[in-house]
Amino acid sequence: MEKIKVKNPVVELDGDEMARVLWGWIRETLILPYLDIDLKYFDYHILNRDATENRIVTEAAEAIKKYRVGAKCAAINPDQTRVKEFGLKKAWKSPNSATRNQIGGTLFRQPIVFKNVPRLVPGWTKPIVVARHAFGDLYGGADFTMPRGGKVFLKYIPHDGINPVEVEICDIPGAGAALGIYNTEESVRGFALSCMNFGLERGYPVYLGTKNTELEHYDGLFKNIFQDVYDTQFRKRFEERGIGYEHRMVDELAAFAIRSSGGFVWACKNYDGDIQSDMVAAGFGSLGLMASMLLTPDGKTVLTEAAHGTVTRHFREHQAGRETSTNPVASIFAWSRAVYYRGLFDATPEVQAFATTLEKACIDTVEAGQMTKDLATLTGTSWLTTRQFLAKIKESLDQKLSTKG
């Protein structure tokens, strides 16, 4: 079979432990035999990050900005135990947040749904994509303790000094605590753009949840900017796709989400997103089925990854020479989504079609009852080792490609 030509490069970020083993197997068996692709390889192996004093992370992020598509393997976020284990110079900053911060954009967490894998929330037959605004709110706030009664004010002094504002927050008789948080129009607008671009590409409606009845100005900023971005730039294209955008009260949206069958983007403020992404992940079942994607506001740069870590416990088994049954699906989707977006940006539908076929091969394999242990435990069936499972996916992929061609 002739390989499919991929016009522009994809930046590959290799990682650690079991995730690295899966990553390599996927590259060698499901990607390179089918695609004529230029992979710009950067190694996030913990020892390479240590040797380059983390420069590799900066260089990789620069390459992603240049080529606009990256796929990332899970990598160790070193703590003191890891510093000892690998004899590192220091506990280098997390490569995940460092890479994301350099590229910017919004992180979308998307569950991969199989008909035969039961979900904690059985009604969720389609993915709920949680988009977390990873800026400001509680994470960029200031808080303090008030040891005794007193007043707290919120004070704004514009750089030009014109029209400063001071409001009293409270006057309390005894001890307590207080908090101040902020956000910026620029960041919220970028968040809105990322969410709309993502929804449009996937054909999912977008819902934003806020409490603007309580926080007229703060949550109002989110509500108004989302509405403006939608009305001025997306409404027409959304309507053509038969989808829409809506603002809802965040508590009503949470209840709606539980009762829904999924199939939408849930735009969350930072703290809501922290909670909802873990809750939704739990509701969908296995960590091995959660894919993640970073998309910039202009919709023109993506970084894909699996949401799980390096699966250390399985790696110890692998190191001891034993076969493991680690779920490679989220890692395969990190590859396939990157290839899909590469095809989209290059206007090469045959490349996009390959990505979609690979994803379909994963889904059909699992739905035909072939799966790894984490899923077999949920379905009460027998399981395959990682390599047996990958071989089944390859069989299904080959069969689909040969009937197509």
Footprint of Mg ion (CB under 5 A): 274, 278
Question: Of 14 and 374, which CB lies nearer to ligand NAP in the complex structure?
Answer: 374
Residue 395 parent element (H or E) = helix 386-404
Beta pairing, strands 302-306 & 290-295:
antiparallel
Residue span 32-71 as binding mask against ligand NAP, x where in contact by CB under 6 A, dash where not: ----------------------------------------
How is 299-344 classified by DSSP, letter by letter? S--EEEEESS---HHHHHHHHTT-------HHHHHHHHHHHHHHHH
Least distance (Å) from Mg ion to the CB of residue 274? 4
DSSP 122: T
Beta partners for residue 292, in sequence order: 109, 305
Q: How many CA atoms lie within 13 A of 181 on its CB side?
A: 15
Question: Of 55 and 313, which CB lies nearer to ligand NAP in the complex structure?
Answer: 313
| Closest residue to ligand NAP, based on beta-carbon distance | 309
Residue 274 interface partner, choices ligand NAP, Mg ion, none, CB cut-off 5-8 Å depending on type: Mg ion
Alpha-carbon radius of gyration of the chain: 23
How is 96-112 classified by DSSP, letter by letter? HHHHHHHH-SEEEEEE-
Rule CB under 6 A: choose which of 54, 71, 77, 267 binds ligand NAP.
Answer: 77
Least distance (Å) from ligand NAP to the CB of residue 15? 6
Residue 75 interface partner, choices Mg ion, ligand NAP, none, CB cut-off 5-8 Å depending on type: ligand NAP
Which listed range, 28-36, 75-83, 147-155, 209-217, lies at the site for ligand NAP (CB under 6 A)?
75-83
Least distance (Å) from ligand NAP to the CB of residue 109? 11
Beta pairing, strands 245-249 & 206-210:
parallel
Can you tell me the distance from the alpha carbon of 315 to that of 257, in angstroms, rounded to the nearest whole number? 36
Query: Whose CA is closest to 207, among 265, 284, 124, 132?
Result: 265
Residue 374 touches ligand NAP, criterion: CB under 6 A: yes
Least distance (Å) from Mg ion to the CB of residue 97? 13
Question: Of 244 and 309, which CB lies nearer to ligand NAP in the complex structure?
Answer: 309
Least distance (Å) from ligand NAP to the CB of residue 267? 22
Residue 96 touches ligand NAP, criterion: CB under 6 A: yes
Rule CB under 6 A: choose which of 70, 136, 288, 343 binds ligand NAP.
Answer: 288
Beta pairing, strands 290-295 & 39-43:
unpaired
Q: Interface residues with ligand NAP (CB under 6 A)?
A: 74-77, 96, 287-288, 305, 308-313, 326-327, 374
